[in-house]
Amino acid sequence: MTKFPGNRSHRASLKSWLTSVALVGLMAGSDAPQALAEATVAGAGTSPAQFGTPADLPITLSGSYLAGRLAGLNKDYGQAAAFYQEALNADPESAMLMERTFLLKLANGDIVEAEHYASEMERLGIASFLSHLALASGAMVQGNYQDVIDELEKPGNAGPLSQLTTGISQGWALYGLGRVDEAMATIGALKGPEWFDVFKATHRALIAFAAGDNKLALSEIEAAHNADPGAIRAVDAYARILAANGRKDDALQLLDEFDEYLNDHPLLVRARTDIESGEPIEPIVLDPAAGMSEILYGLGSAIGRDGAEELSSGYLQLALRLDPQAQFAAIALGGLFERLEQPARAIEVLSLVPETAALKRDAEIQIGLHYNALDDLDSARAHLEALIVEDPSELEAITSLGNILRNHEKFAESEAIYTKGIETIDELDQNHWPLMYFRGISRERLGKWEQAESDFRTALELEPDQPLVLNYLGYSLVDQGLKLDEALEMIETAVDLRPNDGYIVDSLGWVYYRLGRYEEAVRELERAVELRPSDPVINDHLGDAYWKVGRRNEARFQWNHARDLDPEEDELPKILDKIENGLPDAPETNAAQAGTKQNGG
């Protein structure tokens, strides 16, 4: 067996023994997203005891194994794969180490190495659906369609996920061989849970459309749409296939209906443009590899929402291997890395979205946000500013940049960016309330209260009873001692709308405090702390309320807790002073004297 070099750069930092955990915890269920996760990777339950329990971790089989486990728990697939690979080099016949190395290479996007280990698994007689899938994907890319079918017929896991993936992938291989009827029959014969239906119907529609049978394609895509009316890919396909069947008006009506909910989704905007052009509607998928990529994207993105990140990443990496132009797979994989708090990986993947893709600008906006997550404000600003220069009416880019600047407390700059976006709007509508709200926050922080209040009230005109706006405006009014009755009513309404939002419940408690209704303040602030126990501002507020009702030991406990929760730098001296001296007996006239800072925004 070829031995790839392992990565040992993090060995010295790994000093602790890891308790035994299951390698994979995916159980099939009855509903689509929940049911998609199944145990397709063998090796679960293998005990680390077989490798010994060293006090330290030298470069040994056991050390490499434990380091790999730690990296895997931290979702660092590259490091985990390197450590398992190191252990495998020491024990090349270990089925468990082989499978873990293979899966982690696949999840990390090291496809060539993953295929090598898949071949080694076959040599050792290790039955694994994923290894067969990886090898079949390579054959599909090469156009060796019979090899795809043969590879996927080999023994492996037999759960619903593998059955559906295998059947639809074989269907696309049969289409590639020109055996369209057999492809349709193979997919149609798949038996499984109810959530199979939407995938089966969608891919039968795509194959029929590619084969030129528009009537059958329409029948199948209607079934897919009925099974999952909210699936954006099915809506796109449905509209296009309607138009291809000469039903242009019905196609545009369908897009109109979804536009009310999706607000100019780029994919549907592109579909509308193509349909209105009057040009022939091309099949959505022609290449069998792109068809197989579609099923891997569809299943992989659903798995990722269930927490099976390794398996999800493996599926999505294979989808991109099969079709490097697969914009949805790239965006789904970028979203997975975002959830894993790996913004650099997310940027890398989102950069793969093709320039001509409908979702390219969405991907670029996300890249800007990920630069900010890396604390690279300059790159985030430059990236988003370039998008705004390219299209000054791009409100999503403007809002994203404004929010980044506002979160960095660059309120004058964020106000200017929001204003730039607002000035491009001919007539404000319901969708524009966030812009007015965010600009209002910037202006409030700049001390421009009259302009801020105007923005908040405009936001409420556009979106009446919006709880975030009601909370912020009501809190700000109380903070300044203005319109207290109206402010209290606003915040009470916000709490009614979002009773489990700790920040809004905190606002209500603090309004009661400012009004001298201390017992009511304690009641609401205690509930706010239950909802947001780790927020320093809410704990600080509760301490103030306890002090006012004579519960002074509890007050100091809450202030000490607030101190330990990393409050903002300008709030810490106020908290420390209250711990030492308590609150003054004189009534406060503003929130600053009470030693507090506004939550939210």
pLDDT (tens digit per residue) in 502-553: 999 999 999 999 889 999 999 999 999 999 999 999 999 999 999 999 999 9
Query: In the chain, helix, strand, coil percent, each to 5?
Result: 65, 0, 35
* Structure confidence at residue 548 (pLDDT): 95
Domains 11-167 and 177-350 share a fold: yes
Residue 436: name the closest of 484, 398, 480 by CA: 398
pLDDT-derived band at 86, boundaries 50, 70, 90: confident
pLDDT (tens digit per residue) in 31-62: 333 333 333 333 323 333 333 333 344 557 77
* Structure confidence at residue 260 (pLDDT): 75
pLDDT over threshold 80, residue 558 = yes
pLDDT over threshold 60, residue 65 = yes
Contacts of 400 (CB under 8 A, 6+ apart): 365, 368, 369, 384
Using an 8 Å Cβ cutoff, are 327 and 320 in contact? no
* Structure confidence at residue 599 (pLDDT): 54
**DSSP classification of residue 282:** P
* Structure confidence at residue 12 (pLDDT): 30
* Structure confidence at residue 482 (pLDDT): 87
How many CB atoms are located within 10 Å of the residue 411 CB?
18
Domain ranges of the chain: 11-167, 177-350, 376-446
Residue 425 CA, distance from chain mean position? 29
Share of the chain above pLDDT 70, in %: 87
pLDDT (tens digit per residue) in 279-295: 999 999 999 999 999 99
Q: In CATH, what is the architecture of 11-167?
A: Alpha Horseshoe (1.25)
* Structure confidence at residue 601 (pLDDT): 45
The predicted model gives 94-121 an average pLDDT of 92
pLDDT-derived band at 593, boundaries 50, 70, 90: very low
What span, in angstroms and rounded, lies between the C-alpha atoms of 334 and 344?
10
The predicted model gives 424-433 an average pLDDT of 93
Of the candidate ranges 137-151, 168-182, 298-312, 397-411, the one whose mean pLDDT is the lowest:
298-312
pLDDT over threshold 60, residue 226 = yes
* Structure confidence at residue 586 (pLDDT): 59
How many CB atoms are located within 10 Å of the residue 189 CB?
10
**Which has more pLDDT, 273 or 71?**
273
**Which has more pLDDT, 509 or 77?**
509
* Structure confidence at residue 585 (pLDDT): 80
How many CB atoms are located within 10 Å of the residue 279 CB?
9
Q: What does the longest C-alpha to C-alpha distance in the chain come to?
A: 87
* Structure confidence at residue 126 (pLDDT): 87
pLDDT over threshold 80, residue 437 = yes
* Structure confidence at residue 59 (pLDDT): 56
The yes or no reply on domain 177-350 and CATH 1.25.40 is: yes
Contacts of 453 (CB under 8 A, 6+ apart): 440, 473, 476
* Structure confidence at residue 343 (pLDDT): 96
Q: What does CATH list as the number for 376-446?
A: 1.25.40.10
Cα–Cα distances in angstroms (integers) from residue 153 to residues 80, 94, 145, 291, 571, in the given order: 30, 25, 13, 19, 65
